[in-house]
Amino acid sequence: MKNKILRNIEWEILVCTILLLAIGLVALFSSTQNSNYDELKKQILWLVISIPAMIVVILIDYELFNKISPVIYGITIVALIAVLFTEPINGASCWFSIGNFTIQPSEFAKITTVLFLAQVIVKLQKNDKDEINRFWKLLVACSVVIVPVFLLILEPDYGTAIAFISALVFMLFAAGIRKRYIITAILLVVILVPLAYFFILPEHAKTRIDVYLNPNIDPRGAGYNILQSKLAIGAGEAFGMGLLKGNQTQLGYLYPKTTDFIFAVIGEEMGFVVAGFVILLNIVLITKAVHVAKTAKNDLGSYTAMGIAGIFFFHMVENIGMTMGLTPITGVPLPFVSYGGSSLLTNLILIAILLNISGRRQKTIFAN
Task: Tell me if 367 is assigned to some domain.
Answer: no
Whole-angstrom CA distances from 285 to 28, 127, 164, 169, 317 are 22, 33, 19, 18, 13
- Residues 6 or more apart in contact with residue 291 via CB below 8 angstroms: 10
Average pLDDT value for residue range 67-94 = 92
Task: Tell me if 294 is assigned to some domain.
Answer: yes
pLDDT band at 223 (very low <50, low <70, confident <90, very high): confident
Task: Tell me if 128 is assigned to some domain.
Answer: yes
Average pLDDT value for residue range 185-196 = 85
What is the overall mean pLDDT for the chain?
A: 91
Task: Tell me if 209 is assigned to some domain.
Answer: yes
Of 37-51, 135-149, 220-234, 295-309, minimum mean pLDDT range = 220-234
Question: Is the peptide bond between 328 and the residue preceding it cis, with omega within 30 degrees of 0?
Answer: no
What pLDDT score does 2 carry?
66
Average pLDDT value for residue range 309-338 = 94
How much of the chain exceeds pLDDT 90, in percent?
Answer: 73
Q: What is the C-alpha to C-alpha distance for residues 304 and 38, in angstroms, rounded to an integer?
A: 35
What pLDDT score does 19 carry?
98
Of 90-99, 140-149, 334-343, 356-365, minimum mean pLDDT range = 356-365
Please check the confidence at residue 365 and state whether its pLDDT lies above 50: no
What pLDDT score does 367 carry?
38
Q: Is the model more confident about 8 or about 358? A: 358
What pLDDT score does 121 carry?
97
Task: Tell me if 366 is assigned to some domain.
Answer: no
Of 77-91, 253-267, 271-285, minimum mean pLDDT range = 77-91
Task: Tell me if 231 is assigned to some domain.
Answer: yes
What pLDDT score does 3 carry?
67
What pLDDT score does 145 carry?
97
Task: Tell me if 365 is assigned to some domain.
Answer: no
pLDDT band at 328 (very low <50, low <70, confident <90, very high): confident
Average pLDDT value for residue range 42-65 = 95
Task: Tell me if 368 is assigned to some domain.
Answer: no
Q: For 114-131, how does the pLDDT look when each residue is reduced to its tens digit (9 = 90+)? A: 999 999 999 999 989 999
What pLDDT score does 1 carry?
58
Average pLDDT value for residue range 40-52 = 96
What pLDDT score does 170 carry?
96
Please check the confidence at residue 75 and state whether its pLDDT lies above 50: yes
Please check the confidence at residue 146 and state whether its pLDDT lies above 80: yes
Q: How many domains is the chain partitioned into structurally?
A: 1
* 316 close to 323: Cβ distance less than 8 angstroms: no
Cβ burial 174-202 (10 Å sphere, 16+ → b, else e): bbebeeeeeeeeeeeeeeeeeeeeeeebe
What pLDDT score does 222 carry?
73
pLDDT band at 64 (very low <50, low <70, confident <90, very high): very high
Average pLDDT value for residue range 148-154 = 95
Segments forming the whole domain that contains residue 332: 2-359
